[in-house]
Amino acid sequence: MYQSEWLDIILIAGFAQGIFLCFVLWKKQRANRQALQYLAATIGLVSLLMIGRATFQPSFVQQFAEVIMLPDVILFLIGPLTYFFILSLLREELPTRAKRRLHYLPAVFHVVVVNTTVGLNLNGTWDFLDAKWILLIMFIIEAAAILSFLAYYLLSYRAYLRYRGAYYQKYSSPFLGRFLHPFFLLSFLLAIIWVIGFSYNYSMENPDYIAYVVVWFLLASLIYFLAYQAYSHPGLLELPELREENKVPAVEVSLQMVERLTRFMEQEKPFLDQEIKIGNLADALDIPKHELSRVINHGFGKNFFDFINSYRVREFINLRQDHRNEHLNILELAYQSGFNSKSAFNRSFRKEAGQSPSAYFKNYRPIEQ
């Protein structure tokens, strides 16, 4: 195993950081507890692996081989734990508890059979495996771990694409979970480096494990990246459910409440606030948030984001038609209308007007209220 003083310092610092992240994430209130549990478990395992690697002493192998090799079980746990975290974060339905246990069987088999067998042969308790067989088993373990990582990577990425597509069909606002895209790119890079390192070592008579330093570093970086994103962006833990079976049936709403909300939107223009939340609007109207949501969903047939953005689109059209604003470009007018990004504006305009802004103004016609 590759060792250096600087690597030990980095690993110990990573262990301390991981423990800190576990603590602050576990303390978060009003959050997606299921997603946090899987993320905290993953961070905890990575942190233990780091401190195990930092305190590794070659002289201990002969005596405690079966114990020293235990941290390698994370190779078979990182995939399912990350996958279940992604599903929980995206409000996807997880497999049943019994089926989830099946995902951990490779890790159990590794600890109970492979780790024990190899470890006891290394420390001399058993002697039916020579060095060549032990090395071959190590390569088989690693190959299985790579396949496991890739399989869960593909499952997680498919869930992400499915949710993102459904989100953009339902909402015009920017997708808060877009940070997962660079996460998947980095995960793919990790897999490539891992496969290259494995192939190189398999072809060498004396394996060189320095490539795995990069793999472990990227693995820890990916998990900590997820943790810091969840910590610094609370909205990520409150992504909406998009499953069709969760749709609420139509109900009657007060016409008076619909008219009151319409007057407030037209007179006070709260949609000009780029950071407006449904709770802010409910407080301004002095009504419960769930009541306001019901009025918007069933009185206007829209979700909150589309409801707000529809007023922003109409405000943009009014500003665009005002000759006093001829010196302003489209993006400046979009920001003045309450949008906070060009992509959100374009999606909302197409959703509300049925065409792009340039096409719309070639043949201007008012959008029906």
Does 32 share its domain with 105? yes
Which one is predicted more confidently, 178 or 141? 141
Tens of pLDDT, residue by residue over 148-179, are 999 999 999 999 988 888 787 676 666 777 77
Q: Which of 226, 244, 262 is the last residue of a domain?
A: 244
Q: Would 194 be classed as within a structural domain? A: yes
How would DSSP label each residue in 155-206? HHHHHHHHHHHHHHHH--S--GGGGHHHHHHHHHHHHHHHHHHHHHHHHSSS
Does 232 share its domain with 313? no
Does 240 share its domain with 101? yes
Distance CA 296, CA 276 (A): 15
Does 328 share its domain with 261? yes
Does 155 share its domain with 207? yes
Average pLDDT value over all residues in the chain:
81
Does 130 share its domain with 193? yes
338: domain CATH number is 1.10.10.60
Distance CA 338, CA 247 (A): 28
Does 138 share its domain with 234? yes
Question: Residue 311 is part of which domain span?
Answer: 254-362
Does 236 share its domain with 260? no
Does 159 share its domain with 286? no
Does 116 share its domain with 68? yes
31: domain CATH number is 1.20.1070
What pLDDT sits at residue 247?
Answer: 47
Does 224 share its domain with 287? no
Tens of pLDDT, residue by residue over 30-69, are 568 888 889 888 888 888 777 776 666 555 555 555 565 6
The pTM of this model reads 0.67
Q: Would 128 be classed as within a structural domain? A: yes
Q: Would 367 be classed as within a structural domain? A: no
Total number of domains constituting the chain: 2
Q: Which of 188, 209, 244 is the last residue of a domain?
A: 244
What pLDDT sits at residue 101?
Answer: 93
Q: Which of 244, 269, 290 is the last residue of a domain?
A: 244
